[in-house]
Amino acid sequence: MLSVFKYFSKNSSYKNSKKFLIVGLGNIGLEYENTRHNIGFEIINKLSKKIEGSFETQKYGEIHKSKYGGKQLLLLKPNTFMNLSGKAVKYWLSKEKINSKNLIVIVDDLNLDFGISRLRPNGSDGGHNGLKSIIKSLNNSKFTRLRFGIGNNFKKENQVDFVLSKWNNDESLKIDELAIKNVEIILSILKNGIEFSMNKFN
């Protein structure tokens, strides 16, 4: 009995349902600011302001530690560039002893119309290189992803140029409001859980 008790005591931090890693995906550098591929950064910046705090440069990214509704939050903007996002995510999950079930990843999605948001508790990478890197690094696809639609108004051969391009004038007028809406979705996940939030916002 004692050995069993010691085992669960030693590993209980991985069972902590009140500790979350929230990751906004994007690319670092001024040339990538306000681009479609960086909507994860935009939303997590809004979240950081909402829960009051600021980011600090640490290993593999910008980190903001905070609390909300009795839960411990770790906000992460990886500095590894999109294709190596998994390296940062895996490091911080391990360092902070957070179960991957409490991982929330914010990504852009070409398969959704502009401004449409979709919550999923698991799934494939959907062709997104950031998700692909995370799934490969964790060997696990069972984590929450919040997808933000960026549309797909481009010719097939111009996909890379499209996702790395800046919002057009009409989109730029709506981005702040839409980012705030996605902050509400994340806070709902933390407060009410993924199932409730999917039913409410999807």
Chunk the chain into consecutive blocks of 10 residues (it has 202) and report each block's average pLDDT, rounded to whole numbers. Answer: 39 64 97 96 97 94 95 97 97 97 97 96 94 97 97 84 95 97 97 96 94
Q: What is the DSSP string of 129-176?
A: HHHHHHHHHHT---SEEEEEE----S-GGGHHHHHTSBP-HHHHHHHH
The CATH number for 53's domain is: 3.40.50.1470
Residue 8: inside a domain: no
User: Residues with catalytic annotation?
Assistant: 37
- Contact by Cβ (8 Å): 190, 183: no
Structural domain of 26: 17-201
Cβ neighbour number for residue 182 with a 10 Å cutoff? 25
- Contact by Cβ (8 Å): 43, 126: no
Residue 11: inside a domain: no
Q: What is the pTM of this model?
A: 0.90
Residue 127: inside a domain: yes
What total number of domains does the chain contain?
Answer: 1
Residue 10: inside a domain: no
Residue 152: inside a domain: yes
Of the candidates 39, 74, 30, which has an alpha carbon nearest to the alpha carbon of residue 56? 74
How high is the pLDDT of residue 16?
57
Residue 37: inside a domain: yes
How high is the pLDDT of residue 153?
83
How high is the pLDDT of residue 7?
33
Q: Which residues contact 162 (CB under 8 A, 6 or more apart)?
A: 36, 110, 152, 153, 154
Residue 6: inside a domain: no
Residue 12: inside a domain: no
- Residue matched to tokens 């294709």: 83
